[in-house]
Each structure stands twice: as C-alpha cells, then as structure tokens.
Structure 1
C-alpha cells in the first residue's frame, strides 16, 4: 500500500490551540518553558514541570484540558545557547515530539515553534516541520506489504498558506527521494526506478524521457554501459538514463544542470565487495534519488526565471561473465580514454557520461551551473562523518557556488563541508603506461586513499570534457561535485533511513529569492 507524504496545513491564528478546532494534540518545540509565548500553553507547561522534572528536559506528554485533543507535548530544544549548535537541534526536538504524539494516538497535531532571534535559527519552523516528515516516513516496501491505518497524516502549522505550500512541495520531493533511495534493489531496480519517476511526474509539466535501448546507451553513455554490461543479460536489471527538465514560463535568467548517480545496487563488480561490504549498497542511488525529488518539488512550485535539466544514470554494477574489469580502456562520451582502475569506483564512470551530455547543453545556456550529486566515496565519510562535501572547479569558486550553498545548508539543517580541488588531484589520474588519457581510480579503497573524495572531481572534469571550460576558456562553466555518501542516510548506509539530502539546500540555493 502506498502512502502520500505528510500534509502541512496553514493555521491563521492561535485559536487553533483550543479543543474543538480540529486538532488532536499540541506539540510545542521550545528552548524553554518561558519562551513559549502563549499563556494557555505556558501555564500548563509550568504546572507540569512542578510535578514532572522531565518537562523542559525531554519530550513529555501532559494532560491539557481545553487544549486541542487534551494533549500537550513539550519538546525542548537543548543546547540552543551553545556556540557549536545549529538549527538541527530544532529538528531533533520536533522529531521527538512528533514520535511521542504518534505513539499517543494523535493523527492531526498542531506544531508550534517558539521563535528565536538568533540568525542561525531563522528557519527553525520550516526545519522542524520537515523533520516531522523525516521522522514519520515509512519504507515503501512496508507500505506496499502492509495496509497501514495508524499514523499521522496532517500537521498544522502557524504559517501562511504560501509557506505551507512550499513546505508541502519540499516534503513531496523528499518523500519521493526517500522512496527511490531507500527501497531494495529488486523493487527499485533501474527500470523500476525509472518507472517510479514517470508515475511521480505524471501531469507535472516536466519534460521527461527514458533511454533504455542498449545500442543508444552503449553509443551515448559508454562508461555507464560498461558498469552495467553484466546487467544487460537480465531484463529487469538493465540500465536506464532518465532525462528530466523544468523550464519556467517566463524569461530564463539562470540555468542549472544536475547529474545524479543512481547505482541501484553495487556489488563492486569484478572487484567484488567482500567481508559484508555489499550490505546496504541498494542505497548507492541516493544522488539520483535526491535530484529526482528536487525535480518533483520544482514541478509543484514552478519557480520563475530558472531552467533545470537533470540526467539520472540508473545502473546495477553486477558480477558475471560480461562484467567489465580493471585494466580495460574505455572511451567516455566526451572522448577521454579511461583506464579502469577499480570496478568498485563505478559511480564516477556513470557521472562522467551524464556530465558530458549536460556540458553540451550548458555551453549555450543562460548563466549555467553544473552539479553532480552522488553517494560516491567512503573517504568523505572518513573525513566528515555524516556531512555532505562539495568540491568545485575554479569557475564555480569564482562565483562562490560552494560558499553560498554552504551558507544555505547551515540554516536549513543540511550542513555542508567545502573541500578544495588541488593539483595533486590531477596527478592521481595519470596512467603510468601512457596508453590511456586518464585512470579512473587507484586500486585501494577510497577511505584509505589520500584525497580520496577530492580527486574524483578532477576525474569527472577530465572524463566529461568540462576541464576545457575553465576560467580562461571561451565558455567557462561552473561545476560543483556534491558527495553525499555520508549524508544520504541517517547513520550507516546499512538500512539507515534515507534523508533526501541535499534536496532542501539545492532548492533553496536556486529559489531562495522567490
């Protein structure tokens, strides 16, 4: 059984807090009882704190006669005055509150966020609301297997209808992204992923096409097809490329191009993952999933002045007699002769061909910026834990892309670390035999390779032809690589809940001025 995402409903005034207004619980996310700001709620909270020391220290449920549903949940924001904290503390509190409301039997709670004057918390209400969606999401396999009749489907917010509309659109995109990323490799194989996107985009106004013909894939996406070579023999595992485009109906002033890595299952290929390393590799499609969700959000909100083009490379890195192997030399779509260094470094091969196609489109676009989004390396997890990392070329750096994206991500609870592309990253690509133009990778895990998440960006620039569009070229193109290996799921990729990162940050980066 499928399930729609949580719906946020705009509430116009404080009268909604009272019994009979249609809401069956109040969840108050606040830094302190004194900061609640609504007398009827703060009075009950203070009384509750006198009889239960947990009130204000952890999420607690109070009997609240006269208030919505007779339930008051106080979800404290802890550490709000600490220098090291950020807006995620509001997300943490909201998740605890909504989980308690669900366990208590609420179906239509009203969420209230006590405001803060601190600039880092200026999006605390939106962050808290979206955190509730994250907490309540359930796996697609479960929804399809079990008739779910219990749970929260509507959350009230003291916001305008415009803000509610934006939050609903973002949550719809995140819901799609979680489904695509978090579903097992047979249910969400490459063909099934493509079909799920087609269904999600139906009547959306997006331009959508799917490439599935083997001859076309091998001609136009040779590196991607090499990764999927062994999967062609199994019809349900065959690769797909999904092309999606959003174009505003007014004058275009900015253009964005996204390549999403959608490795629906990564065995490691001939360089097979061993020692249990294969478990969780159905989540190696988080990049394509996040971009697919982003396009859904754009289709709902229809922002002005932008054009957004995405290509999602969907492929299973299978093992078999047809599998590609280390030492092969394969020409990319851009014409770079690539020696395969390790078949378990497959994501960069998929992205390179996608970026090459996007490069051609971007060269004649208005104010273009290109991005690749991928669960790419273990090295980024070793360096930054559960944070996203970005690596940009000189053109993007001159436009402050990573810096601005990082600033946006901080206030929207998807914090990003910025890494720098260096000359040593290009040295990693040299083929000692000189038989190939570049080597895709070394033959060691990225997590133990110096600059293991930075140098793949150098590979992508060379293999896609983007290197020719540097600062001094006739057509400079800004390119930013986004590695979400640590942030695509909560905790470990081993069945952790998908986050849809960095969907919110990318959307706000493109559309914050609207």
Structure 2
C-alpha cells in the first residue's frame, strides 16, 4: 500500500539505477556498500533488486536495476519484500508511474490459495496524486481478477453479479435482459449462448447525469469459448476463460470513471454468453437476424465475439453517444500483427486515434492503430444474407472483423474498437502472468483530460 510519510517509521530509500550509470552510482556510495553491491554482481540490469545492509544487519537502502530506463514499472520489484516501508530515492524519472508500478506489483490472484497478510509499504512520493494512483490500481486489480477467475466460477450470471456490485458501490443502476426478451431483442447474443446450460444475457449499467456527455463502453463477455461446432483444438481452448477480457476492461474503466466522478453520462453494455457445444448450438451456414436488422451469414462459429458485440453496439449506437468504445479479445490476427502487448485500435476518427495514442504514451499504456481498409469490405459479401460475419480471404482478419463491427455503428459521434489480448504470457515488473488491463488507463487519462476530474 501507499502511506503518508508520518505513517511509516524510518522508510528505506529505494534508488533506481540504470545499467549505463551503475559504476558512477556505486562510486558515490560508502565503500562497504559499493563492495557489497559488486560482490553480488549488481549491474543495473532490468529487474535486478539488491538490499544493502547497515552495520546492524538492517536494510540501509535498496537498489533497483532499471536497465535502459524504458520500463516505467521497475518499482514493482519491491514486491519481493514481504514487509517494510520504502521511499523513492534517486533515479526515478516518473514518480507517478513508479508509485503505480509499486501497487501493480503487489497484485496476487490468490482466491484459491492461502493469502499472505503482509505487504511492503511505499511512502507517498511528493507531487503524486496518490488517490488517483490507488484508483487506477484498484481498477486494474478488478480487471485482472475477472479475467483470472476460472470459467466454472464466472458464467454470465456471475459477470452480471460483478456489474451489480460495481453499480451498488458507485450509485449506478443495472438492467439485465435475458430469456425471451434477449432472444427477441438481441438475437445474435442469444444464438451464441443457446447451447450453454448457463443462459446468455445483456448487462446494461448506467451512471451520471442524463444531460452530461454520453460515454458508452461495450465489452465482449464470452465467459468461455469452445469454438462452438467449429471446436477449437485443445491448445487454443486452454486460455478461453479470458474471452470475457473485453467485458473486464469495460468494467474496470467504468470503475475508474465513476470513482473519479467524471462529469459524463456513462453506459456500459456487456453481452455475456458461453459459446458451448450442444444440440442448440448455432451452425456454420446459419443466417441470423441481428438487432440492427441486418441478416448475418455464419461462416465459422468460432468467430462468435463479433456477433455478441454487434447486437450490443446496435443498442449503444441508437442513442448517439458522444463516444462509443468497445473492447474485445476478438482475433488472433491482431496478435499476429502487433503481438500481445499492443491493443489494436480501429477508428475512422483521425483526431481521436492520435489523441489516444498520445494518452497511451503519457501513461505507459500503449495502443496501436490499424487501418479500416475499405477495399476489404467486399470480403464480407454473402450470397444468402446481407453480410457474412467472416472474411472470404485468409488475410487481414482483425481488419475485416473491425469492418464488420462498423456496419452496426452509424450514429455515434466517435467510435473506437479495441482488439486486445488481455493477458500477460510472461511476468514482468508490475505485470504478473495472467489477466491484464489494456488500453483502459490510456482511455481514463484521455477522458480525464477531455472532461476534467
């Protein structure tokens, strides 16, 4: 946790040391400390953490290697200490990022094993908005927890429960659409979840003054994706508890917005379903009628996420929001294009794209724009319906998926689609292996600048 200076006794200074500056830094230390650091091969490499003892055997200071200084969350290395109070010393270029990195490094998903009650403390750095840093970390933790929860404990109903809990805390309202009403009003969400023993539903959270600028977030909430009748191979199915990662991003961002009291009219829509296999499953070759009214030919039941999003986007678009954003773990093609760390951003608004890219750089939450290439629209042609939901070509899968979604948005003043991974395949400082929040810190920063806190 982060505490005030008067709450911590004798905080231990923590210095950030670049690899290129390690000799100069050690040269300024007392000889016994420099000797100890060299004897332990401390070289300032990324991820290196070394505690230097005082004559009584207590920790006198901690050195954190930051390599070339490119990782803003190197302070997360302090999570190795089970307890103690620390304060930022020399070398921290961005104290706010260092404070956030420290908190992010404390994250543990331990719902199924014994919790450790101890944790280190960081003295609030001067000039850092600690309240906001805590707010962001709490939202990231919520996002990670939702993604990391196994699918047997997180179905559509449990995802709705999480939204309800968030709403109660913030004074928001939640409406749930299910059963016959879902089949009639959101037929593609209903079709995706038809084969599961856990019924699909639509979550609709609203918060804020009705006359405030409308910000609507849409999340893909496929709680587990077998691939349907186009069943996934085992390796591709093993991480599919994270296929509701888009819904987790939407709820995490919503928590930040509401906790900060941003002056917006917030709406969060999540289509929650399990893409299971059974006699009621939708089939390749089926034609579904969407909420929008377009008929959609099904080419592959493993491309279910865009169907869930399309119905929710149609509802969101109807009230002409000032900003409409959707989040989805949508395509493997996006991961091939930009890898797991960079969410692919699709928008026709050049100004919005540039501002979101800058916001991502400012808060170390990068996004990367990919094009909505118009010639590929023809690859979504169907011989039997208004549109096919997958491309006729093996190329540009993330682009054609984004083009499909744009068919269902026409009134929103600005629209952005994020195709993201929502997962850390390997651990790094402040980013443990497992579920991850992506793009939402960038969006929160952009919204705060645009609408004020």
SS for the counterpart of 1:424 is: helix
Q: 2:423 aligns with which of 486, 489, 493?
A: 489
List runs of 5+ in structure 1 lacking aligned partners: 1-6, 81-85, 117-123, 470-475
1:508 & 1:45 partners in 2: Cα distance?
Answer: 41
Matches for 1:367-406 after TM superposition, within 5 Å:
368-386=322-340, 387-393=342-348, 396-397=349-350, 400-406=351-357
Label 1:42 to 1:380 Cα distance change in 2 as closer, same or farther (>3 A).
farther
Label 1:352 to 1:107 Cα distance change in 2 as closer, same or farther (>3 A).
farther
Contact kept, 8 Å, 2:192 with 2:308, in 1: the verdict is yes
Q: 2:106 aligns with which of 118, 130, 136?
A: 136
- More divergent stretch after superposition (504-513 vs 327-336): 504-513
Q: 2:400 aligns with which of 452, 455, 459?
A: 455
2:12 & 2:175 partners in 1: Cα distance?
Answer: 44
Label 1:299 to 1:66 Cα distance change in 2 as closer, same or farther (>3 A).
farther
Within the alignment, does 1:110 sit opposite 2:87 as a pair?
Answer: yes
TM normalised by structure 1 equals 0.79
SS for the counterpart of 1:265 is: strand
SS for the counterpart of 1:509 is: helix
Within the alignment, does 1:359 sit opposite 2:317 as a pair?
Answer: yes
1:112 & 1:314 partners in 2: Cα distance?
Answer: 46
Matches for 1:31-430 after TM superposition, within 5 Å:
31=18, 32=21, 46=34, 48-49=36-37, 51-54=39-42, 56-57=44-45, 58-64=48-54, 70-80=59-69, 86=70, 89-91=71-73, 93-95=74-76, 97-101=77-81, 105-112=82-89, 114-116=91-93, 124-139=94-109, 142-143=110-111, 145-152=112-119, 154-160=121-127, 163-211=129-177, 213-231=178-196, 234=197, 237-247=198-208, 252=212, 254-303=213-262, 305-361=263-319, 363=320, 365=321, 368-386=322-340, 387-393=342-348, 396-397=349-350, 400-430=351-381
Match of 1:437 in 2: 386
2:444 & 2:181 partners in 1: Cα distance?
Answer: 32
Contact kept, 8 Å, 2:156 with 2:200, in 1: the verdict is yes
Instruction: Give deviations 1:38-95, integer Å, cap 9, x for gaps.
Output: x9x899865644554415342211114699x635221122113xxxxx4xx121x223
Label 1:66 to 1:215 Cα distance change in 2 as closer, same or farther (>3 A).
farther
2:217 & 2:30 partners in 1: Cα distance?
Answer: 47
Label 1:112 to 1:181 Cα distance change in 2 as closer, same or farther (>3 A).
farther
Deviation at 1:353, TM superposition (A): 0.7
Contact kept, 8 Å, 1:261 with 1:288, in 2: the verdict is yes
2:174 & 2:147 partners in 1: Cα distance?
Answer: 20
Deviation at 1:217, TM superposition (A): 1.0
Match of 1:8 in 2: 2
Contact kept, 8 Å, 2:72 with 2:364, in 1: the verdict is no
Label 1:129 to 1:425 Cα distance change in 2 as closer, same or farther (>3 A).
farther
1:456 & 1:45 partners in 2: Cα distance?
Answer: 57
Q: How many residues align?
A: 441
Contact kept, 8 Å, 1:113 with 1:125, in 2: the verdict is no
Instruction: Give deviations 1:432-461, integer Å, cap 9, x for gaps.
Output: x2x2000001478xxxx3111111111112
